[in-house]
Amino acid sequence: MALPPSILIVGGGVFGLSTALSLRQRHPEAQITLVESSPTIPNPHGSSVDTSRIVRADYANAAYSKLAAAAIQKWRSTAWGRQGRYTQNGLLLVYPADSVSAKEYARKSYNNVRQIEGDNVVFLPSQKDVLSVVPPYGEDLDVAGGYVNWGSGWSDAGASVAFAKQMLDADGKVDFRHGNVDRVLFDEPASASASAGKGKPRAKGVALTNGTTLTADLVVLATGAWTPRLVDLRGKAVATGQAIAYIKISDAEQRELENLPTILNFATGMFIIPPRDNLLKIARHAYGYRNPITVPVPGVGASKETMAVSLPETGGPVPLEGQDAFREALKQLLPRFVDRPFADTRICWYTDTPDGDFIVSYHPDYEGLFLATGGSGHAYKFFPVLGDKVVDAMEGTLDPELQKLWEWTEANTPAPGTNMDDLFDGDGSRSGARNSNLQEELAKTRKASRESAL
């Protein structure tokens, strides 16, 4: 399928930037614009930007393992991974005695990744074997077994987003605009013929909150966890807030921990990525916090109908519940840091889909509207190869197994108003409470801090 002359990408995270990189290479004649609401790319509040992201081919689904293996090749052997943007320290995946699903995930993932990494992957059938890989974690480490994949690593996510932007700036083929998209604009006359059964409404651009418009033949929404404001994604995707905390460590602690593998406990969702610059990060891969906000139902024409959808709130602290969970995890993993104050905490937003698969697809109800989102907490690692897959999907040439996972069809469109809570199960690797409300948790946190001040 030929692509049209002008393409507008909304969002400058991993999905948007990788799409721009691929488009400018494969379609140099196209007029490509990228609009981002943050004054800077990297956007410090975007999901793609952080001290670190795990880069692993360790998946229970072989399609993702294969794609991750292709990405890892680029992280290892091209400019993507240079200047500290990629560190191959290994990934230790562990499970406790009482979690059948975590053990099952680890088993499937081990089998997949063995085929890719061979002897780089070592099965660790007992707690003692696990400890032989991470001695500083100590005898209290509450795990029954796991495996280590020395072929996995982590990436400096802020630096890599900056690198992608630099590559795009270098040839100036992509026109970057700063602006907050208020809504997608549709060709209203086409909607009249749509109602007569002659076609679908066509996206023709976007309106910005400052009152200006940007027009294009194809609009690509790569707006991450903010996407449910721009298209009705009820039952398709939900923004979930995930907790992260950072701990300052000494030079000696940095030296001791920096070469260890990342540890990921699939039962608790807790993971610790080796420190850099004396900052140790602990994070939780969980069901996450919801932040319901009432917004107009997006679509063609002005609608008075509203809907409550979870949308990101950035810049605030992690609620006490999350901080307590980190302390509990540290007690099990690195007890010496249990009482160390957090230098910073942050909520970072996933765009979660019911089964953890991305949405890389034309919208089934509109012409000229494409979505590249639904990262579900695992899209970062694909940065070097993701844009090519997005453009393949635009052209109709995506590998069938990925198309099956990522395409939004009439058949997998949920009924209007479907509640995501009934559908979302993730990939079996999530922890924490389901449907936890961010504002309620923050209110509890404020109350606890008032009480402790009395």
Q: Which residues bind ligand FAD (CB under 6 A)?
A: 10-16, 35-38, 43, 46-48, 53-54, 180-181, 222-224, 226, 242, 244, 283, 348-351, 373, 375, 377-381
Nearer to ligand FAD, 36 or 388 (CB): 36
Distance (Å, rounded) from C-alpha 177 to C-alpha 20? 13
Distance (Å, rounded) from C-alpha 438 to C-alpha 382? 29
The Cα-based distances of 106 to 94, 112, 137, 250, 282 in angstroms read 7, 10, 20, 33, 20
Indicate the length of the chain as a whole number.
454
- Are the beta carbons of 329 and 247 closer than 8 angstroms? no
Nearer to ligand FAD, 181 or 194 (CB): 181
Q: How far is the CB of 76 from ligand FAD (least distance, A)?
A: 15
Q: How far is the CB of 54 from ligand FAD (least distance, A)?
A: 3
Instruction: Provide the 3-class DSSP secondary structure of residue 219.
Output: strand
User: Residue 381 is encoded by which pair of tokens?
Assistant: 């690692």
Nearer to ligand FAD, 36 or 117 (CB): 36
What is residue 342's DSSP assignment?
P
Q: How far is the CB of 415 from ligand FAD (least distance, A)?
A: 25
Distance (Å, rounded) from C-alpha 430 to C-alpha 286? 4
- Are the beta carbons of 71 and 64 closer than 8 angstroms? no
Nearer to ligand FAD, 151 or 375 (CB): 375
Q: How far is the CB of 199 from ligand FAD (least distance, A)?
A: 27
Nearer to ligand FAD, 143 or 371 (CB): 371
The Cα-based distances of 214 to 132, 189, 314 in angstroms read 57, 19, 26
Nearer to ligand FAD, 27 or 284 (CB): 284
Q: How far is the CB of 70 from ligand FAD (least distance, A)?
A: 14
Q: How far is the CB of 22 from ligand FAD (least distance, A)?
A: 14
Nearer to ligand FAD, 178 or 340 (CB): 178
Nearer to ligand FAD, 141 or 244 (CB): 244
Query: What sign does the CA torsion over 304, 305, 308, 311 have?
Result: negative
Residue 160: what are its φ and ψ, rounded to 5°?
-75, -35
Distance (Å, rounded) from C-alpha 327 to C-alpha 247? 11
Q: How far is the CB of 181 from ligand FAD (least distance, A)?
A: 4
Query: Quick one: which H or E segment has residue 95?
Result: strand 91-95
Beta-carbon count within 10 A of 261 CB: 22
Q: How far is the CB of 198 from ligand FAD (least distance, A)?
A: 30
Nearer to ligand FAD, 127 or 271 (CB): 271
Nearer to ligand FAD, 150 or 176 (CB): 176
Distance (Å, rounded) from C-alpha 260 to C-alpha 92? 9
The Cα-based distances of 424 to 104, 209, 350, 365, 434 in angstroms read 19, 32, 13, 23, 10
Q: How far is the CB of 380 from ligand FAD (least distance, A)?
A: 3
Q: How far is the CB of 395 from ligand FAD (least distance, A)?
A: 20
Q: How far is the CB of 88 from ligand FAD (least distance, A)?
A: 14
DSSP per-residue string spanning 135-196: GGG-TT---SEEEEETT-EEE-HHHHHHHHHHHHHHH--EEEEE--EEEEEE-HHHHHHHHT
Nearer to ligand FAD, 37 or 429 (CB): 37
Rg (CA), the chain: 22
